[in-house]
Structure 1
């Protein structure tokens, strides 16, 4: 069809890579593909992945999406890549990966983070200098950890990349980073949008880290075109422009149309996130708010919890329940799960800030210890963490009239109702649940438009391509809101004892 404008959106997450083909002219998603990743887990909270898996999954998901869309890959005009934030990918001077990538959910570098935080003058010093409080998941502590634990690897570092930067490098051969994802490194100043070179010199006075940094580019800039052999391998147009891309939260914001103040996006993925667009870098005094840059030219105050569908998944596996049966059991139990309270901190926790916490079940009696109550308690417990974060954002002046829900958990009607009741705010899903992959494709369309003389603004493309799903709209129910508030207060009392 002559008037199609085809873009490929990629989201490389913790659990897998998703690909979708967007026609930016009609606003329709024409086809999708997906491929799984595996995790390297170890003692001390090690969570790593082999970047070679991402390349295989990228290829596999892209081919599936092209097939499902029934389009020719040579008609793809642009590619956008969304990636899990904070991960550390180290390359040598030949562009080869030096070791497995440490991920956002890796807490092995907690001691190094504590050391760096002290060096910065604590939370206040970190906020003043960088605009964010570095947390163990951030990239900077992973660098210090590598220096201390793997000095031979450290001595060969030629490039330091985030997961989405690495995929862009693979596609184009160019080492770049964009402000949104760079915000989560811990060596980037979100107010001035510059690398903090002195902090890297403090870690390694030789200056090697500084020399290994990618070039910073604006959100609307393209990284370049696809390398001929990669284009051939993927079956796509070698002239396709690769956009700046960004972190999965930044791309999820674009994919939900969250590009101006007033909107709020909540993601129910492996981790949980709540974020809103801001046109000024108003850095919150609260350490749990990360005032990241957006991948659309502004800022994206954000809170992230480490435990969401990864925690509900553990309970599902324990009882060998499929999603449908799990949701039925959640719905069977009353609000507050008859007193069963789960603190789902299986991965440690970032919000509230409890990196060394473990999960616990409280309030068990002879009568309330049922499958249904345990299923309900894990959904409520993870959602309370997001409520805690939303309250923090609201205290910082964030307005939220409704919440746009994305991520795997948003597909559950019972979970949507629990979110609406606990937040006391209407919720609605986007028609496209893969918001990060959609956002990446939309950003690719925007970057391509810039390269062609800026015929469409980002708002234009979002308006055409982001659709809400009216059937998913869920309103809070007054009686449920009151009961949920009591259960939430009980959760807060339990957390306070940690």
Structure 2
């Protein structure tokens, strides 16, 4: 058996598969996010470890985990987890959707022009390097104590094994890695006052980096088994869905939304706000566009209406409403692709006395779809196009939303078995690959055998009769952002003077 641990923003999932890659069990534990100031987003890394212990305990109630062979991990990307020389956490982790480091981004690109060329990506507030630069400028006492900088899932690996490690896919999202060489770049590290001594060793996602420490194995009641490096959630989700070859694409509807396309080489295209990172498997890369509030937008509306997400969707489907004059801009956490605007604001446009909650729910689903169409258009300009897309993430469970996405993107969308646990399944697959690779089997043959596309549960073809409606709304969607973008930062400063 192989265990995959997926550290997300809203929770940690554990997925167990057998030696043939079949799903055996899954469990989860919730996590909370702190937003002490506007554009800030933080989590306590100790809560990740507590969630890890909880999930393994829940799985042990269902399976005999004494038969585990290896553990793999997937994690939310970009989070700055800062440790002192004793391995203690110095401050809450600044998450992927934390937007406070905008000025540091501009400074880094001005003072170190090589940043974009060597990392292949624009310096954005979501990435790790400008976050650490913010700490350097605003919390110098904390910065002076930094011994190691880890990404979220790498903190769990450290707690499990005592090893400071990372992988290419996750490390590429720090901006300190050169994706071409798949190793840390001394020039980029120096720009933020760090050296390779502050960084974990870089592995491929399926490489075994160590074993559970005796102390942790005893605490978790597990055998002393191998742990693989793992990877960033999007790349590992792609592994779970068998998206490993150039030309294949993936759509992730989690807290954030991701449009992911595999490439045979590192194809940087920062001018279109496209992320170009390493895949979680050797000799592979990918491009992706990111919208910061996908399923989160629907969760926000449900919480505001004091209803569940399921209740909102059921009411909308029961209403049989398929069009609305209401437009929603899903910029609750700012936006990356294509705007790179941490100050972008969420907006409803077109509300009136006749507007219903069903109108607002439909507008949210459309707004997220339009933000993913922005990503699709950016990837097309960067040279990536896919014939159809596999879907993963909690939002992908809704057949209504899947069909709407197919209509907006004008693509065939495929919902596959395990899509709701894609990154957890991918992490377990990496554990399986690492275990068998350690036994002497060749990695490309293992990928071909164990990283197949899962069974299709449902597929959606675009409804061409709706194309005119969506094109008009998409044009308005873009126009409303352009018309109000100049107000976003002053509005943020006026309403949040601290």
TM-score normalised according to structure 1 size: 0.93
Give the match for residue 148 of structure 1. 137
Give the match for residue 431 of structure 2. 444
Is the 2:274–2:382 contact (alpha carbons within 8 Å) kept by the matching residues of 1? no
Backbone CA RMSD of aligned residues: 1.6
Give the match for residue 324 of structure 1. 310
1:403 counterpart = 2:392: no
Give the match for residue 304 of structure 1. 290
Shift of 1:361: 1.5
- 1:102-113 alignment, distance < 5 Å: 102-113=94-105
Given the alignment, which residue of 357, 373, 385 partners 2:359?
A: 373
Q: 1:84 to 1:281 in 2, by over 3 A?
A: same
Give the match for residue 9 of structure 2. 14
Distance in 2, matches of 1:325 and 1:89, equals 37
1:438 is paired with a residue whose SS is helix
Is the 2:329–2:347 contact (alpha carbons within 8 Å) kept by the matching residues of 1? yes
Distance in 2, matches of 1:397 and 1:94, equals 46
Given the alignment, which residue of 58, 68, 71 partners 1:76?
A: 68
Distance in 2, matches of 1:300 and 1:343, equals 27
Is the 1:344–1:360 contact (alpha carbons within 8 Å) kept by the matching residues of 2? yes
Shift of 1:454: 1.1
Is the 2:252–2:391 contact (alpha carbons within 8 Å) kept by the matching residues of 1? yes
Give the match for residue 415 of structure 1. 401
Shift of 1:120: 3.1
Given the alignment, which residue of 16, 36, 43 partners 1:42?
A: 36
2:61 is paired with a residue whose SS is helix
1:31 counterpart = 2:25: yes
1:183 is paired with a residue whose SS is helix
Q: 1:128 to 1:24 in 2, by over 3 A?
A: same
1:286 is paired with a residue whose SS is helix
Q: Flag structure 2 segments of 5+ consecutive residues without an equivalent.
A: 486-498
Given the alignment, which residue of 214, 217, 237 partners 1:252?
A: 237
Shift of 1:182: 0.5
Distance in 1, matches of 2:12 and 2:314, equals 29
Shift of 1:311: 1.3
Count of residue pairs the alignment pairs up: 478
Distance in 1, matches of 2:46 and 2:252, equals 27
Is the 2:112–2:191 contact (alpha carbons within 8 Å) kept by the matching residues of 1? no
Give the match for residue 55 of structure 1. 49
- 1:270-285 alignment, distance < 5 Å: 270-285=255-270
Give the match for residue 86 of structure 2. 94
Given the alignment, which residue of 455, 472, 475 partners 1:468?
A: 455
Is the 2:109–2:116 contact (alpha carbons within 8 Å) kept by the matching residues of 1? no
1:346 counterpart = 2:341: no
Find runs of 4+ consecutive structure 1 residues off by over 6 angstroms: none
Distance in 2, matches of 1:396 and 1:468, equals 30
Give the match for residue 382 of structure 1. 368
Give the match for residue 160 of structure 1. 149
User: What CA deviation, in whole Å up to 9, does each residue of 1:446-478 have, x standing for no partner?
Assistant: 111110001651121112xx52333x2122112
Q: Flag structure 1 segments of 5+ consecutive residues without an equivalent.
A: 1-5
Q: 1:40 to 1:324 in 2, by over 3 A?
A: closer
Distance in 2, matches of 1:233 and 1:90, equals 25
